[in-house]
Amino acid sequence: AAEDFDFSESVQTCVDPDELLKLAGTVGKMDPDELDAMMGSFGGLEEALEDIDGAEASSPSADKPDVDDPGRMDVINEVLMQSGSVVFSRPSSCGQGQIVVRAIRARREHAENICADVRNLEHQWRTMQFVGDRGAFPSREGKVRDIVKGVVRVAMPPAVQGGGEGAAPTMVTEVLASGHAKSCVATALAAAQACGADLLREGGPPPRALIIGLGAGCIPAWLVDRFPRLVCDAVEVDSVVAVAAVEAMGLPVEATITPSGAAAAAEEAVRGCGGRLRVHVCAGEDFVSELAKAAPEEFRYDLVILDCACPDLPEPMAQHGGPFLQALAALLRPCAGVAVSTLVAADGQGTVSGSTPPATDVAQAFHDAAGGEAFMTRTPILETANAMHTILGFSTQPVGDRDGENL
């Protein structure tokens, strides 16, 4: 029951909180040169975590790398160790900064678990970042905030490899390269599994996912790649981010839909236009509101990921009892999983800017709207300077007594 909800008893973290905050305090004080030197001396994030007071030792999954994961840490060290070259830079359509994409050469020997169609092509890592204008989105420490919006692996067409003009790069969709993206997906899937959602079902209406905040496009692309019947709606308010995802990050161009306004986008979603991966360029809260009015009874989402904290979750999405949460709750299947990504300050105390509700208040608002149970995960501070990604997970049904089950 909502009145009995105690978020403090529903917290799970990927590493011990005290060790994570200790790591945050250490790294948060470093300038970029110091951080580069540390990463170079330890050879990557895993070693850095292990060296700083044994923070990594408290994470059972970190005992050994998953050799079948093409985005495992020893592979994406290439991203951490190089700055790369700028291949895309345009002012954000929302103002206050630039959307910048950088390219970093990827070693071919790490392509052993990648689809054979692109395995032998030249590969690159592409990072998308929002680089804020001076004074944009100030943190509580008063620093300019640059937000990493995603990392993908792409295969380069032969014409591009040879220096000529050719097609855009192709995203290698089976790779999730950042801890943040993996944690968003894992949190949502764990929440869905906990209440019995079946994204691999073969009969009936196809499973559906809603991603608010396209970023680099890796999360919706990975979901469509891994779940054969899943239909995914991705919503992005910044049209330049959508363009960069297609032109520079390799998202399939046919996935992008650009109708005029949220109402038209909602109608396109209900009609099923655009295949299994559809990108709608409009505000997420407006899309959800219009979709709740237009969607038939059978149009419901099994999985929802809100990954639009830049740096803060939009206020309407965290408003207790507000129209967004009411509309979102109406669009969920009885058994569904939701993940909400937020950025918190490096010390773990409050949000980055201090202007939005803390994670506990957001969790309470979502819980009161959709019921079920909530939990929280965090990803390493090193992915976003001076901030940590905190991801709230919600199961729309109580998970009951499942002691010992590894979600």
Digit-coded pLDDT (tens) for 32-42: 455 444 444 33
Q: Is residue 230 a part of any domain in this protein? A: yes
pLDDT band at 93 (very low <50, low <70, confident <90, very high): very high
Mean pLDDT within 70-81: 68
Q: Is residue 348 part of a domain?
A: yes
pLDDT-derived band of residue 110, with 50, 70 and 90 as boundaries? low
Helices then strands, counting H and E runs in the chain, come out as: 14, 13
Flag whether 118 is in a domain.
Answer: no
43: in domain? no
Q: What is the pTM of this model?
A: 0.76
In a domain, 50, yes or no: no
Please say if the pLDDT value at position 164 is more than 80.
no
272-278 long-range CB contacts below 8 Å, 24 or more apart? 272/231, 276/224, 276/230, 276/231, 276/232, 277/220, 277/221, 277/224, 277/232, 277/234, 277/252, 278/231, 278/232, 278/233, 278/234
Contact 350, 358 (CB under 8 A): yes
Average pLDDT, the chain: 74
pLDDT tens figures, 367-377: 888 778 888 77
Query: Residue range 114-121: average pLDDT?
Result: 64
Residue 304's domain is classified under what CATH number?
A: 3.40.50.150
- The residue to which tokens 């969607």 are assigned: 295
User: What is the spatial distance between Cα 292 and Cα 262, in angstroms, rounded to a whole number?
Assistant: 12
In a domain, 52, yes or no: no
If one compares 52 and 296, the residue with the highest pLDDT of the two is: 296
Does any domain span residue 148? no
The residue that leads in pLDDT, 183 or 361, is: 183
Reference 301, options 258, 256, 270; nearest CA is: 270
Its domain, for residue 344, covers 2-13+178-395
> Is 192 within the bounds of a domain?
yes
pLDDT attached to residue 43: 39
Rounded Cα distance, 182 and 318, in Å: 23
pLDDT of 142 strictly over 50: no
Residues 231-282 pLDDT 10s:
999 999 999 999 999 999 999 877 877 667 899 999 999 988 778 999 999 9
What pLDDT, on a 0 to 100 scale, did the predictor assign at position 111? 58
108 vs 140, residue with greater confidence = 108
**Which is nearest to 103 in space by CA: 180, 181, 216, 237?**
216
Does residue 47 carry a pLDDT above 70?
Answer: no
Domain total of the chain: 1
Tokens of 300: 């419901």
Report how far Cα 265 is from the mean position of its chain's Cα atoms. Answer: 22
